[in-house]
A and B are shown apart, each in its own frame.
Chain A
């Protein structure tokens, strides 16, 4: 009962702050709203008994990535005046893309209505012991491949950040 109320509250918070991200004029406010959204989603993870995922979500997204976003916005000092006016064709393209996304969403929701009732799953699947076990046995290969991907991304970032040495 309590979890249901919590679910509705978190969903409302998530959607409301997600809308704020899009509609607020001030970029810093957008970022802060996005952080609230992440917290609401982390709350959903906790409700689903995936505490590890919730903690990592907060640490990685709210604690690290959004800090970097804020960094850039604060350093560039973006505000309403410096927002460039988009040309007409971009607005047109955005409308079409948005419409397509809506079609896809409607299709997805329609099929969701015919979905069978959710199966009872093991409640402790999100606990860190089980998660670690699954990651290192059944999903060892994708796990390692994704770590490789991160390594490549990291090397790429360092390469981009490095000063070019000009040969005389």
Chain B
């Protein structure tokens, strides 16, 4: 019992550390990718190739003066970024990072907890994530912040629906809500993307919207709203909001790879004849490679596509993605019925 507890604690801290480091270097990668796509070099002064830039940014954030507007609701003003950060880190608990390691006969699962409603847990946490933005935006007592917060939250609850429906088609196919079982149903190269391409496109579009990333970053649209919901924030509280966005991006990439790209599975994994532990390590690396690809994809999209207008955003969510997702569910049901999976 105690050994399990200690192991879980170590795992939790390891995952926390990895998430934070990945998020930290995502900020660096974002700037580098942006620069390269615009024929620039990007940050290259702090350390070799600018690799210490995130550290310098972090130090800068900490050193900045902390301003709490006197007319704001001070408690909520502080709670806002805390909620944003907490919810974005919470989701990593149900993601299976790799298959079990077995040392001296005991198996150590590389997943904090395998709840049987993993996907619903994800949705629950994501839907709570709205509050971080809403509370922060409202507590600032600033019209730009409030508008940004309202935009962000209405966008997030709108796209959650299409996202949920896209996943329902997947759940119909896999017959489980546990992320671990979903991954294990995609051995080798039999990834769900082959069976659910429409669902994947809907899901990834919604993931962009949920992370408030371009082309759906209307919540912090500089041209209209100054800084959006974090206009009044400074110092590390602003840092928390920005950081939460990158953690969200990391977790979203992990979920996309888990649900549609086989998680830690890779083609010909069983033909290599490796020991299970070797396979687990290699699987973990492959999983991270997939995650990094999707993080790059997030950035790639950001520096390619301009921002939507707000009515276009809502049209796309409600009149575009929602019917397509419903159609996808019907299509999945039909195909399952025709192939005799259900009767």
Contacts and interface: CB of A to CB of B under 8 A. Distances in A.
Check whether chain A touches chain B (CB < 8 angstroms).
yes
Interface of A: 28, 32, 35, 51-52, 55-56, 58-59, 62-64, 67-68, 70-71, 74-75, 127-128
B295 interface: no
B153 A58 contact: no
B107 interface: no
A61 to B, nearest CB: 10
A28 B76 contact: yes
Contacts of A75: 150
A63 B130 contact: yes
5 nearest CB pairs, A to B: A63-B127, A55-B120, A58-B124, A55-B124, A74-B138
Interface string B139-160: 0000000100110011001001
Given A35-B131, A67-B130, A67-B157, A51 B115 contact: yes
30 contacts: A28-B73, A28-B76, A28-B138, A32-B76, A32-B135, A51-B115, A51-B116, A51-B117, A52-B117, A52-B120, A58-B127, A59-B123, A59-B124, A62-B124, A62-B127, A62-B128, A63-B124, A63-B126, A63-B157, A64-B127, A64-B157, A67-B130, A67-B131, A68-B157, A70-B134, A70-B153, A71-B154, A74-B138, A75-B150, A128-B117
A143 to B, nearest CB: 16
B123 A55 contact: yes
Interface residues of B, number: 25
Interface string B162-188: 000000000000000100000000000
Contacts of A56: 120
Contacts of B288: none
B154 to A, nearest CB: 7
A150 to B, nearest CB: 13
B266 interface: no
B292 interface: no
B157 to A, nearest CB: 6
